């Protein structure tokens, strides 16, 4: 039997799904809408991509992917779900915000949230300094 495919939370796997399900159980009414696997940025063009279909596929596959984009009361929140979140997770959120702002210049600045299962004091302090809400579940 093959691997189970996760249709509920696109591109989340294993512990990411467990963490996100715990978050949703603890905060069921926090957001009014949730969109998964949201792509931002321009992606890259592979040499030799000669057809429109190949160029489009290459661009889609190489864009940055935000785990969750949520809405609540007119506020957009970009959410990264990361087991044992470290510097890479925080860096991803900062890049996502920059790309989001470039693509949604007329909208208010999005909030950032890092959802994880481990409280790492260095990452928590850095998150706070960057205006990122860190949620440990």
| Segment 88-131, tens digit of pLDDT | 999 999 999 999 999 999 999 999 999 999 999 999 999 999 99
Angle at 28 between CA 27 and CA 33, to 5 degrees: 110
pTM for the structure as a whole: 0.87
If you classify domain 14-38+64-136 with CATH, what class do you get? alpha beta
At 8, is the pLDDT very low, low, confident or very high (cuts 50, 70, 90)? Answer: confident
* pLDDT 10s digits, 43-95: 777 676 677 777 777 777 778 999 999 999 999 999 999 999 999 999 999 99
Integer Cα distance of 75 and 96 in angstroms: 16
Per the CB < 8 A criterion, the answer to whether 90 and 132 are in contact is: yes
Q: Rounded to an integer, what is the distance from CA 102 to the centroid of its chain? A: 16
Integer Cα distance of 47 and 55 in angstroms: 9
Per the CB < 8 A criterion, the answer to whether 137 and 115 are in contact is: yes
């Amino acid at each position: 039997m093959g691997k189970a495919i996760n249709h509920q939370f696109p591109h989340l796997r294993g512990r990411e799904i467990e963490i996100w399900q715990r978050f949703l159980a603890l905060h069921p009414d926090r957001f009014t809408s949730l969109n998964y696997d949201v792509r931002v940025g321009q992606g890259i063009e592979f040499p030799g991509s000669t057809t429109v279909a190949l160029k489009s596929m290459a661009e889609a596959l190489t864009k940055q992917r935000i785990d969750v984009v949520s809405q609540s009361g007119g506020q957009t929140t970009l959410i990264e779900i990361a087991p044992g979140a470290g510097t890479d997770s925080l860096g991803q959120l900062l890049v996502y915000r920059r790309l989001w702002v470039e693509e949604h210049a007329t909208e208010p600045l999005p909030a950032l949230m890092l959802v994880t299962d481990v409280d790492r004091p260095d990452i928590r302090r850095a998150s706070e300094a960057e205006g990122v809400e860190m949620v440990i579940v």
